[in-house]
Homo-oligomer: A and B are copies of this chain.
């Protein structure tokens, strides 16, 4: 079968036009889930999808589906997906690239008048990042039944606004039921968020599995007191305990070399004012490793660190898991499809593990799913410096188009 090529220039200009919504002076993008910017990006995506001949529907958690009919209208669709939301310090590629690569594939099919047997759908999932509303991969997880709709709609941002209310404000509280219908297959292309493909010079990374990751909230409790007259020896400073734990978490990840990851990026202080020793700090943290046993060993070290630091610093620390993912093992046939397609296009490739969750992760148990990466040219994401070249972006869309055609034919 001969291979098709997407229009790389069109893909790039579309991606840049989308990235201007929430665009930052340094070349990044700030488009928090269900913000006014997210609403404008959704409106633009919807218009583009309709112009590409798709029928657009929105479900109860705000997932947007753009459907291109197949000759077998009753058949389960082949679905392409990713997300339009970003973290506060986001780039123009994470998430948006996957949706725009899917749009470019649909535009190519229309350009060429190609019919497929199966319907093809392109979905922009709601709130993959979990930056404004926790937890992450919200739209896809509600779709697959891993999260209830009521729970998701009730989640609040730091100002107390709920997901349900935020959806209404931007006009994306849709009426289509969430989930409950089969997919033939799911495909997601994403920019790599680390440096491995760039280091190795491969053009495509086939995700065969994931790190094991566990997420915790460490609740450090001390005693509120005046920052001035309270003797140092009589203090129970929750932030000092949290600071010691932050350093220990960083050390645990570093001690595993290039395979370890550990983070403590999100803090809530009570109170957080200049005149009072904080009485409580809630520290969101995680440990990740490709080997599940080693991830467990990291967790054990973390629990020991909590006990030791609590004793040393005169505070209490409770560690509660709130999320986990992996290790996932990706569908072998779907991995082979991506490998074969990339090979047919003449693209170098390697197998790779994902360190972070993606919408494809909840999809893995829902239908045969593939996740694959194109290189990050800077090796960094969730940053204004996030960047993939027009050629790197085209490569992934080429693989996506041809893989979808094989599945839908």
Contact = CB atoms under 8 A, between A and B. Distances in A.
Contact of A226 (B264, B286, B382): B382
Given A131-B276, A224-B382, A276-B87, A194 B271 contact: no
Nearest to A132: B273
A380 B250 contact: no
Contact of A223 (B223, B262, B279, B383): B383
Nearest to A213: B228
Contacts of A230: 193-194, 261, 380-381
Interface residues of A, number: 75
A272 B266 contact: yes
Contacts of A395: none
Contacts of A275: 87, 129-131, 136, 265, 356, 382
A229 B279 contact: no
A134 B274 contact: yes
A246 B250 contact: no
Contacts of A194: 226, 228-231
Contacts of A264: 239
Interface string A215-255: 10000000111111111111001011011101100100110
Nearest to A261: B228
A288 interface: yes
A263 interface: yes
A89 interface: yes
Interface in A4-25: none
A89 B380 contact: no
A397 to B, nearest CB: 21
Contact of A193 (B226, B279, B379): B226
Contacts of A284: 274
Contacts of A231: 194-195, 258
Contacts of A132: 273
Contacts of A87: 271, 273, 275-276
A87 to B, nearest CB: 5
B233 A240 contact: no
Contacts of A258: 231-233
Interface in A379-401: 379-385
A239 B228 contact: no
A102 interface: no
A231 B147 CA distance: 30
A277 interface: yes
Nearest to A217: B274
13 contacts: A131-B274, A131-B275, A193-B230, A213-B228, A223-B385, A224-B383, A227-B286, A228-B288, A228-B355, A228-B356, A231-B258, A265-B272, A267-B272
| In the complex, the 3 A-B pairs of residues with the closest C-beta atoms, listed nearest first | A194-B229, A228-B356, A243-B246
